[in-house]
Amino acid sequence: MQVTEIIPIDKRRSKVRTDEGFAFALYGNELTGYRIEAGKELPEESYREICERVLWPRARERALHLLESRDRTEQEIRRKLAEGFYPPEIILRTVDFLRDRGLVDDWNYGRRYVEAYETRRSSRRIRQDLRRKGLTAGQIDSLTEGGEEKETPQITAYLRRHICDPETVSPEQRRKLTGNLLRKGYSHDAVLAAMKELGC
């Protein structure tokens, strides 16, 4: 493969772009040690050595560090490693390493997420969150099954916290409450039904 350009990331690291359409980051001494220069060929054996001795251990440590602060999905790990300019093969290897050791498990992540937020967020909002975090449609459907049934009590509880006397709710306050609930992901019909039930 050929090195097409070397772009400084910060004072210590640079991004190495190749003609194969991917990039990886190295420190200055690593660039020198492997004799990497823009416009020059990078032998396959040198690239393999960089992957094995430099990028793979570094990606693994980065991923483990990310998991120290909180659980993450596979997609979140992939995104963070891609932002760090790790090649696709190193990202795949790192995610496989984490999955094999039970350090990332999207199903369990989703289960814990639903348990944490099912009384505070709408089913629609939870589904959107899980989709954004990379869970599959099948996983999301299974994890959120029956979630809509829990929404009416949530809406009612929210309205009771914010309304002292349902009979004195002004149109402006009603619009504001409706807007807040819609932004939380509740359906318009569910919000109207709860308001009607409370008599406001």
Name the packing angle between helices 74-83 and 56-69 (round to 10°): 130
**What's the pTM?**
0.76
| Residue 134 sits in the same domain as residue 112 | yes
Asked whether the CA dihedral 100, 104, 106, 107 is positive or negative, the reply is: positive
Instruction: Give, as one character, the DSSP assignment of residue 17.
Output: E
Range of the domain at 184: 149-198
Instruction: Judge if 117 and 134 occupy the same domain.
Output: yes
pLDDT above 80 (res 200): no
Q: What pLDDT is attached to residue 5?
A: 95
Percent of the chain with pLDDT over 90: 64
**Amino acid letter at 180?**
N
Same domain, 42 and 11: yes
Domain's final residue, options 80, 100, 120: 100
Domain count, the chain: 3
